[in-house]
Amino acid sequence: MRTGALALGVSALALVLAACGSSATSSSSSSSSSQALASSCPLSALAKAGKTVNIDFWEAMNQANGATLQKLTTQFNSSQPKVHVTLVDENSYTTIWQKYVAGLSSGQVPDLAQLTQTDLQSAIDTRSFLPAQSCITAAHYSTSDYVPRALSYYRVDGVQEALPFAVSNPVVYYNKQSFVAAGLNPNDPPATLSQYLSDAAALKAHGSGTALVLDSWHLETWLSTANQLFVNNGNGRTARATKAVFDTPTAKQIWTDLDQLVRSGDAATNPSSGPDAFDNLLGMGTGQYGMTIDSSADLGTITELLSSHPNVTLGVGPFPVLSTKLRGGVEPGGSAIYISNKVPAAQQAAAWEYETFLDSPSSQATWAAGTGYIPVRKSSVQTSTIQSLWATHPGFKVAYTQLVDGPTTLATTGAVLGPYAAARTDVIDAEESMYQQGVSPSTALKTALAKVNATITSYNQRVGTS
């Protein structure tokens, strides 16, 4: 009886409230799509502010990198009275992104956010950032001194969306002493993937090993060095990517080689995130590993860490490409700085001021020297800071050289896609299944392709473009 009455009450209310609630979802669809395109850079707002403009910068730089960023920021804050920047250490790119997106609902967004390379299309899709292009135009800011591929990574469909800040790419880290012990030339790191495999075998036979971090830039980077696309529509740069195109003989070759490397026992794998992320680099200190591939961004921290290990002489080599005959190049990794268009005009202008400071030739020289990142300005290289650094630590030059080398094509510039992080997870899951469940490289590749395609399709549906 009571149950009946309850059910009746509930369903009666359902009717009434459904009627009231009908305007609920339509309100969220009112945001204008033209906002991002129409937004212009409010440069003059800073002068009109009349007092110091305070801005927040969400960044993810740790250890040596964090200290260098703090140093530059302090320098900026004390160099002029108009803008004061507060660094907010969010610890990781993932945290910044999650908090930023959550902040779009709650209204808690920073003036500037450091977003990792893979967040580019997502950032565009939020329509909440001021394209750097508008400020470049408004301020007649010259970009000719930028390292071309680093700059063009952040250009989509002809619009410069952000300015690169912390640029890196994968390099070979190796212990020269292990190379000597294995009868290898300590000044001749592997230049190709097949040499990498044979060096790994030699190291293994002589008591040390190789670490292969499980990260999906494996496939992407080897593809870009072979001048091949990762997704369609010009790697997502001429139009939104709708499917992955990495099911090529080249990709199969890459995974077959890597599979052999791991399954022969010549290399050990470990996750790219979590508590074990730095194990391969630290393993070099203990003598466990003689060689690994990792981001050049870790160079500063690693140099510091390994300096206390007498049995390690750190060597840095370029990324071991699939074949030196293929005209490709490494894609630029790292992160860029984005200005939010959800903050007052004066703060947007202040953010531009700070961003261009960080990207100035001298700041980039300081930045690169302190961290291992590549200076994004060509003229930074001429500074005494960089010249003396490269003289004493030639390893710091490797990543720069390989980014400047080779043609700047849609393939070498790298891919842009909305669900990049999810797609990378799909790829890495498939790669892991090769090593751990013995799935064949071609099957793993097919699985990866199908999963990435599904990921792209469902994302594009949600954005409303298909």
Burial class of residue 51 (count of CB atoms within 10 Å of its CB; 0-12, 13-18, 19+): exposed
Which one of residues 249, 274, 384, 437 is an interface residue with other proteins (CB under 8 A)? 274
Residue 404 vs 463, nearer CB to other proteins: 463
Question: Segment contacting other proteins (CB under 8 A): 71-79, 329-337, 356-364, 456-464?
Answer: 456-464
Q: Strand 83-89 to strand 53-59: parallel, antiparallel, or no bridges (unpaired)?
A: parallel
DSSP assignment of 395-412 equals HHHHHHHHHHSS---HHH
Distance of closest approach, residue 287 Cβ to other proteins, in angstroms: 23
CB 188 within 8 A of CB 320: no
CB 145 within 8 A of CB 377: yes
Distance of closest approach, residue 9 Cβ to other proteins, in angstroms: 4
Question: Segment contacting other proteins (CB under 8 A): 105-113, 187-195, 300-308, 343-351?
Answer: 105-113
Establish if 37 lies at the interface with other proteins (CB under 8 A): no
Establish if 105 lies at the interface with other proteins (CB under 8 A): yes
Establish if 54 lies at the interface with other proteins (CB under 8 A): no
Question: Segment contacting other proteins (CB under 8 A): 41-49, 101-109, 142-150, 347-355?
Answer: 101-109
For the chain, the straight-line distance linking the first and the last C-alpha, in angstroms and rounded, comes to 51
Q: Strand 333-340 to strand 129-130: parallel, antiparallel, or no bridges (unpaired)?
A: antiparallel
Establish if 279 lies at the interface with other proteins (CB under 8 A): no
Distance of closest approach, residue 99 Cβ to other proteins, in angstroms: 8
Size of the site for other proteins (CB under 8 A): 46
CB 109 within 8 A of CB 103: yes
Distance CA 295, CA 280 (A): 12
Taking phi over 0 as left and psi of -120 to 50 as alpha, with beta for the rest, 133 belongs to alpha
Distance of closest approach, residue 107 Cβ to other proteins, in angstroms: 7
- Taking Cα atoms as reference points, which of 252, 326, 287, 296 lies closest to residue 400? 296
Question: Within its chain, how far is the Cα of 260 from the centroid?
Answer: 28
Which one of residues 37, 47, 101, 205 is an interface residue with other proteins (CB under 8 A)? 101
- Taking Cα atoms as reference points, which of 322, 263, 264, 272 lies closest to residue 292? 272
Distance of closest approach, residue 462 Cβ to other proteins, in angstroms: 5
Question: Segment contacting other proteins (CB under 8 A): 26-34, 300-308, 312-320, 445-453?
Answer: 26-34
Report residue 53 as tokens.
């403009």
Question: Segment contacting other proteins (CB under 8 A): 20-28, 152-160, 185-193, 281-289?
Answer: 20-28
Residue 145 vs 432, nearer CB to other proteins: 432
CB 274 within 8 A of CB 213: no
In angstroms, what is the C-alpha Rg of the chain?
A: 24
Distance CA 377, CA 136 (A): 16
Residue 148 vs 344, nearer CB to other proteins: 344
Distance of closest approach, residue 282 Cβ to other proteins, in angstroms: 16
Establish if 437 lies at the interface with other proteins (CB under 8 A): no
Q: How far is CA 440 from CA 385, 434, 435, 443, 451, in A?
A: 48, 6, 9, 5, 16
Establish if 28 lies at the interface with other proteins (CB under 8 A): yes
Establish if 1 lies at the interface with other proteins (CB under 8 A): yes
Establish if 401 lies at the interface with other proteins (CB under 8 A): no
Helix (H/G/I), strand (E/B), else coil: 63: helix
Establish if 34 lies at the interface with other proteins (CB under 8 A): no
Which one of residues 53, 128, 180, 312 is an interface residue with other proteins (CB under 8 A)? 128
Which one of residues 73, 116, 117, 122 is an interface residue with other proteins (CB under 8 A)? 122
String of contacts with other proteins for each residue 69-98, x by CB under 8 A: -----------------------------x
Q: Which residues bind other proteins (CB under 8 A)?
A: 1-3, 5-6, 8-10, 12-14, 17-18, 20-22, 24-25, 28-29, 31, 33, 98-99, 101-102, 104-108, 122, 125-128, 273-275, 418-419, 459, 461-464
